Amino acid sequence: MEIPYGVRSLIRRALQEDIGPGDITTALLVPEESESKARFLAKCDFILAGLPFALEVFRILDSSVMLTAYLNEGAEVKKGDMLAEVSGKTRTILAGERVSLNILQRLCGIATLTRKYIDRIHGTGAKVLDTRKTTPCLRYLEKYAVRTGGGTNHRFGLFDGVLIKDNHIRASGGIGKAVKKARQAHHLLKIEVEVSTLQGLEEAISAGADVVLLDNMALGEIKKAVRIAGKKVLLEASGMVSLDNIREIAESGIDFISAGALTHSAPAADISLKIA
């Protein structure tokens, strides 16, 4: 897997944050010539995501290390499975251990939670989307984990999609004016409008929106919105989405369901790195 330059730069900054001028404990206890093998071991069940990035940590520290992955991205990992092996200088392994595990545990946690959401709506036709509620500077990695878990990425940032939210509407003088301005400036991009009422939905449809985001609407209102839209626009439900209610939301006929929890509330997977 090709590691993007931006990710390599991120890993270097993370290593600098953790190691600083040097790993004091390892320097005191481990001879410079010592070599070891270390294995990534699963301590729970999860969906694997981010192993290439985790292994890249050691390659950045020392290009001579030997890295072997035993499972593919997206694999269903069981407790006790060996994910990968690192062979090389013991000092390198110990210096990169925490940064590597932090990346891997975080991304596996996101992929695992995403897969749970996907499984809950199986057969409905709805898609699960992520949001921009990501850890600063980790968005590329976290959205990668969502995809690996079976989810679909919403826009990456403010630069690659038009989403007219409540504050845009207020600043522009209404839904109609906001959609018109956006359409004139970017006629090739789809226009999505966020609304919180059925009246707002009707205004967005009349204004020519392509997608309407139903913000924090109750299930009953979502069902009414689906009937009102009648396939004239695509509909996205967002807010108050959980594993407990996503099936009901999906069965309403909605096209997309976005959940910030995928990235801001996913618990990290439990993984260890043990020297053999």
Give the model confidence (pLDDT) of 64-76 as tens digits: 999 999 999 999 9
Domains belonging to the chain, first-starting first, are 5-111+267-275 (3.90.1170.20), 119-264 (3.20.20.70)
**pLDDT number for residue 6:** 95
> Which pLDDT belongs to residue 97?
98
Split at pLDDT 50, 70, 90, the class of 188 is: confident
Question: What pLDDT, in 10s, does the model give residues 18-63?
Answer: 999 999 999 999 999 999 999 999 999 999 999 999 999 999 999 9
In order, the DSSP letters of 197-233 are SHHHHHHHHHHT-SEEEEES--HHHHHHHHHHHTTSS
% of the chain beyond a pLDDT of 70: 100
Catalytic residue annotation: 98, 133, 165, 194, 215
Whether residue 186 has pLDDT greater than 90: no
Strand 256-258 vs strand 162-164: parallel, antiparallel, or unpaired?
unpaired
Residue 272, CA distances (Å) to 43, 44, 72, 85, 215 in order:
7, 10, 18, 12, 40
Q: Which amino acid is at 5?
A: Y
Per the prediction, the chain carries an average pLDDT of 97
Q: What is the pLDDT of residue 52?
A: 98
pLDDT at 187: 75
Q: What is the mean pLDDT of residues 77-102?
A: 98
Q: What is the pLDDT of residue 185?
A: 85
pLDDT at 81: 98
Q: In which band, very low, low, confident or very high, does the pLDDT at 1 lie, cut at 50, 70 and 90? A: confident
Task: Report the 10 Å Cβ neighbour count for 150.
Answer: 18
What's the pLDDT tens digit per position in 109-153?
999 999 999 999 999 999 999 999 999 999 999 999 999 999 999
- At 84 the three-state DSSP class reads strand
pLDDT over 90, % of the chain: 97
Q: For the residues 84-93, what does the mean pLDDT come to?
A: 98
Kindly provide the b/e burial profile for residues 45-74, where b requires at least 16 CB atoms within 10 angstroms of the residue's own CB: ebbbbbbbbbbbbbbbbeeebebebebebe
If you average pLDDT over residues 194-203, what whole number do you get? 98
